[in-house]
Structure 1
């Protein structure tokens, strides 16, 4: 009897150990520019995602009665559409349950077809409106679209800066073209005359020829459809050439990196970001402090969106009761009303963020600071 009791005790003890240690590993994908001119932004986004992942794993996530551990599969899409499609297929083949990103609209639009075919939920900040107009049900944009960002800056130019004329520089990327078109449309509706439209590319650093053409037209503002890697040298060269215009742009130029590289020339910059200023709330200030302590750097534009995005995804999995049924997770994401650090995440029928707020910023001491009249 004693031997039987010992055996039963051992079996029960072993069973308890197996049950206590049982956990499910869930792979979360990330696609972003981790090399090249936009590497600072891509790494910042990844950092925000990693911060959320580490917190979730530390506190513990239970889905459907199982302990869940998130594992990150982060890939460098180089801001290149062709590479982005290859990365999408690689992530799908690796068994990701969902993907945060891509960052660039030019990558997100073609890559989204791969994710849609595999029924993988996609949470991008890529802002071109065309992304959510493809009829896919798996896309949930966790930032503001170009229609909001470009429109915000056009109204700011007309109503606050009292601009009458504007020139536009477009880098011909899906993001740059999309936000430039939205700016032009709303600017014209607000009585601003578009006196020039110039084109460049996403790796350009020399804008002196373009600025010579624009200077002769003497616009009140210049709108850049592009990123900080272009915006910083453009701002410096505007000052060097003696242009009196203010430089406007969207979230692509609204970052500490823009201020750091542009130096004193950043004083002519006004830009729009999705969301409200993080330093206006206790949660936002806590995030900024936590990020700085963890990475010894200031958070840029979308780190908080990626942070919120993963926690939103975890909330949807918990409510759906599954980490593997992508259809159920997608259906729950469509019903979410999740309060994150940067705002509340709820989506319309095509996956656009409902009531996405935007904020206009200036650059002071290398930091985007909410504009105050």
Structure 2
């Protein structure tokens, strides 16, 4: 055998031995599907929980605050040294940026599959959560999303849950409230055509109509727009009693400024993605009198809201904005299910998650119906008064 053949044979043998030591290399989506239900863990019983939200771009302020709540729950769980898989567990957060983009969200979901995460908290947006949930369903990974579109939980998927009320719940309450409590009868509606914005506006419109309102011809924008004058000019002549917007604060804040600049003085309403410090900062004086709604009671009226606000401020040096308590409760719901099952394998803890009854921050009984929606809901209506979000009414009900 010449030297070249000897080198080739030696190299082949080394590669074969290396592959054998690693158990071989089995890649591809089919392989991932057969192994993803096993939790990511090591000899130290490390359990990896995935997290997905927009962490860059115009919605990053939502995602970062959401992530803070998730991390706070994980840190507390690690301090408690909970027994899972028969030993004290250490939880680790694998945070990924989906940039509020559906395509990027499915790529993030595939990375979680490859990493064999035990579960996922997220996604934040309905437009990202819906396609990503298909990946999680195929790979048997429980996921608790912030997303509010009714479509998320309306497809009969077994591994999908949410940590906030759906648009069908929130939009229904807000539409009825606008007509019956605030007396608005002639209503203009704009949405950003995202799964969230359109879904919320659809539910608001249905509820307002049912309560007797007249809906002006619906108008649309997109979640990247900053100029709304062509839409708003038409409303100036139609003289609605109120303008409702389904979308994020990156549009609602400049929209209200343009509304007032055009001399339109009618009230303005929106959903929970407008109820942020960012809206107040950008809208400034033009935001005065704006109404929004948000799932749950005001933080100081939530079952553990004051306690949570204190912990959050101590850890992050700032006040709770909007979404972190919901991420916190979702994470504790998942961890509690694992603890009750003494396992981080989805096959073991899924039934415990379906039956979880958590004494949470956002709800005294954080639990799910058979679709993965929250059973007990509360909606609070807020109004901007002297530059602050002030709660003006809360509506509580059970599904």
In the TM superposition, what is the alpha-carbon distance from 1:296 to its structure 2 partner?
A: 2.4
In the TM superposition, what is the alpha-carbon distance from 1:326 to its structure 2 partner?
A: 0.5
CA–CA distance in structure 2, aligned partners of residues 196 and 242 of structure 1 = 21
CA–CA distance in structure 1, aligned partners of residues 208 and 247 of structure 2 = 18
CA–CA distance in structure 2, aligned partners of residues 117 and 339 of structure 1 = 31
Which residue of 1 is the match for residue 114 of structure 2? 93
CA–CA distance in structure 2, aligned partners of residues 61 and 211 of structure 1 = 55
Which residue of 1 is the match for residue 91 of structure 2? 70
CA–CA distance in structure 1, aligned partners of residues 83 and 339 of structure 2 = 7
Of residues 348, 351, 362 in structure 1, which corresponds to 2:383?
Answer: 362
> CA, structure 1 residues 281+174, in 2 after alignment: closer, same or farther (shift >3 Å)?
closer
Q: Does the 8 A contact of 1:235 with 1:268 survive in 2?
A: no
1:242 aligns with 2:263: yes
> CA, structure 1 residues 335+282, in 2 after alignment: closer, same or farther (shift >3 Å)?
closer
Which residue of 2 is the match for residue 329 of structure 1? 349
Normalising by structure 2, report the TM-score.
0.85
CA–CA distance in structure 1, aligned partners of residues 376 and 302 of structure 2 = 18
Provide the aligned length of Structure 1 versus Structure 2: 352
In the TM superposition, what is the alpha-carbon distance from 1:289 to its structure 2 partner?
A: 2.2
Which residue of 2 is the match for residue 5 of structure 1? none
Which residue of 2 is the match for residue 289 of structure 1? 310
CA deviation vs aligned residue, 1:189-238 (integer Å, no higher than 9, x gap): 01110113111000111111111011111111111110111111111111
Q: Which stretches in structure 1 are left out of the alignment for 5+ residues?
A: 1-21
Which residue of 1 is the match for residue 17 of structure 2? none
CA–CA distance in structure 1, aligned partners of residues 116 and 145 of structure 2 = 19
CA RMSD in angstroms comes to: 1.6
Of residues 109, 115, 118 in structure 1, which corresponds to 2:130?
Answer: 109
CA–CA distance in structure 1, aligned partners of residues 312 and 387 of structure 2 = 17
Paired residue secondary structure (1:71): strand
Paired residue secondary structure (2:161): coil
Which residue of 2 is the match for residue 187 of structure 1? 208
Which residue of 2 is the match for residue 340 of structure 1? 360
Which residue of 2 is the match for residue 231 of structure 1? 252
1:79 aligns with 2:100: yes
Paired residue secondary structure (1:272): strand
Of residues 291, 311, 317 in structure 2, which corresponds to 1:270?
Answer: 291
Which residue of 2 is the match for residue 11 of structure 1? none
Paired residue secondary structure (1:237): helix
CA–CA distance in structure 1, aligned partners of residues 333 and 313 of structure 2 = 22
Of residues 123, 147, 154 in structure 1, which corresponds to 2:144?
Answer: 123
> CA, structure 1 residues 73+364, in 2 after alignment: closer, same or farther (shift >3 Å)?
farther
Paired residue secondary structure (1:252): coil
Which residue of 1 is the match for residue 9 of structure 2? none
Query: Which runs of 4 or more aligned residues in structure 1 lie more than 3 Å from their structure 2 counterparts after TM superposition?
Result: 364-367
CA–CA distance in structure 2, aligned partners of residues 125 and 174 of structure 1 = 13
Normalising by structure 1, report the TM-score.
0.91
Q: Which stretches in structure 2 are left out of the alignment for 5+ residues?
A: 1-42, 395-399
Paired residue secondary structure (1:338): coil
Q: Does the 8 A contact of 2:302 with 2:362 survive in 1?
A: no
Paired residue secondary structure (1:70): strand
